[in-house]
Every structure is written in structure tokens, then in C-alpha cells.
Amino acid sequence: MAANDDDESTAVIVGVLAGIVLAVVAVSYGARAGKNVPPPAPVPAAVEAVVEIAPVGEALAKVHFAVGAAALDEADKAVVGKTLEALAANPNAIVLLSGFHDPSGDPVKNAELAKLRAMAVRDALVGGGVAIDRIKLRKPESTVGSGSAEEGRRVEIRVQ
């Protein structure tokens, strides 16, 4: 019986060692395989990136929004044609969108709403034929001073 016990012990040890070796190989292979997996496709920089470009000159157009809204109305969509004309006159220009919000209320929510408004204008411009790589979004800005409430709910469009 002692021989059978030794055989069983040896079989258990060999089985445990084989399991450990397989586990190490699996982990090692998995780590190496993970390095060969391509990263997810990046979001185009022009889509979401906020740039630190100073606006130059007067705005080509201003789009005003209702309180708490980020949708363009039909009249505001006319800015697409005006922007396309300005870009045709200057083929190397970019469109710079600046979203504004007033200082009242939660500044984080206001900044997000200003960004959504700028993105709505961007989407209308892209839908109208402006190449997305020519559109840049600026960081949302808070209006200060004694401007009208409507001026705190605007996106300025500059072609520069």
C-alpha cells in the first residue's frame, strides 16, 4: 500500500505543478496578447477638443438660445450660409466657436450648457457643409458686467 500512496502523492504533486505552470503560461500569454491589441480609435480632435485660441476681431455671427436650451431655431440656421461664404473667401481660415453663459446659477452646469450650445452650432455647420476639421471650440466663458441676459446665452462664430 505504501507504493500506491507514493504514486497518488506524486500524481497530486505533478497535477498541482502542471496547473501552476498552465496558469503562469496563461497569464504570461494574456499579458503579451494584450499588448498586441490595438487601442480604441480616438475621437477626432476637432470634434470634442477645446482650444485656447484667442478670438480675433468682431464675431461673424451670434446665435442666441432660450433659457436652458441648446437647440438652434430655423432662423439661426442661416449662419451656416454666412459662414460658408466667409470660409470660401479665406480657404485657410478656421471657424472658432465661443459659447457663453451668465454667472448666475451653478457654474459647472452653465459651462456644460454653453458647450452643448457651441456643439449644436458646430453640428449645424457640419451639416451645412463646413469641414469638421476647420471648426474649433473654445472653453465656455462666463459673461460679466451689465450685458443683457440674452448675451449670456449665445455662441459667437468667428472665421479667422
pLDDT at 83: 94
**pLDDT value of residue 14:** 53
Rounded to an integer, the average pLDDT of 138-154 is 81
Residue 37 has pLDDT above 50, yes or no: no
pLDDT for res 15: 56
93, 159 contact by CB (below 8 A)? yes
Q: Which residue has the higher pLDDT, 14 or 75?
A: 75
What's the burial of 126, exposed, middle or buried (CB within 10 Å: 0-12/13-18/19+)?
Answer: middle
**Distance between CA atoms of residues 154 and 152, nearest Å:** 6
Check: CB of residue 99 under 8 Å from CB of residue 115.
yes
Q: Which range (61-65, 104-108, 128-132) has the least confidence?
A: 104-108
Predicted local distance difference test score (pLDDT) of residue 25: 47
Return the CATH number of the domain spanning residue range 45-159. 3.30.1330.60
pLDDT at 64: 92
Q: How far is CA 130 from CA 51, 93, 110, 156, in A?
A: 18, 11, 27, 16
Which pLDDT band, with edges at 50, 70 and 90, does 105 fall under?
confident
Burial category of 83 from C-beta neighbours within 10 Å (exposed 0-12, middle 13-18, buried 19 and up): buried
Q: What is the pTM of this model?
A: 0.66
The full set of domain ranges for the chain reads: 1-37, 45-159
